Amino acid sequence: MAIRHALAHEPPEGQASLRARLSLNVGSIIVGVIGSALRRSVALIGPSVHIASRLLKHIPPDGIIATEAVVERLRQEAPAVAQRFHVWDPCLVLKGVEEECVTAYHIP
């Protein structure tokens, strides 16, 4: 929510405004350093990262999309935030995850 709020502010004069899509998912991930000694970066991989990246294609700029697992966790830990999410698609089929559908939520 803080990222979305920060992006909503008017940028300083002469600078372009920033827009972003945000996707949220929970699950196991693997974190690793990849690359050579000259150029290294941190990579996150795993099914939960894959699903979150595929969700991004279904939400417009400035939108936040989340899986049902995220909303369920929020209902336990931050009910007021969970109430802001509404069902986007009860059975969204994502590329590369065709064997199951994902219940997606968004904040309008």
Over its length of 108 residues, how does the chain's per-residue pLDDT go in tens digits?
888 888 888 777 888 888 899 999 999 999 999 999 899 999 999 999 999 999 999 999 889 999 999 999 999 999 999 999 999 999 999 988 878 899 999 998
Element (H, E) at 98: none
CA proximity to 55, closest of 10, 11, 85, 17: 85
Q: What is the DSSP letter of 10?
A: P
In a domain, 53, yes or no: yes
Please count the helices (runs of H) and the strands (runs of E) in the chain.
4, 6
In a domain, 101, yes or no: yes
Q: What CATH number is associated with residue 55? A: 3.30.70.1230
Question: What is the pLDDT at residue 11?
Answer: 78
Name the amino acid, one letter, at 8: A
Rounded to whole angstroms, how far apart are CA atoms 59 and 101?
16
Q: What tokens appear for 59 in the block?
A: 């939400």
Domain that holds residue 58: 2-7+18-107
Question: What is the pLDDT at residue 21?
Answer: 93
In a domain, 62, yes or no: yes
By CB neighbour count within 10 A (0-12 exposed, 13-18 middle, 19+ buried), where does 107 fall? middle
In a domain, 50, yes or no: yes
Number of domains within the chain: 1
In a domain, 12, yes or no: no
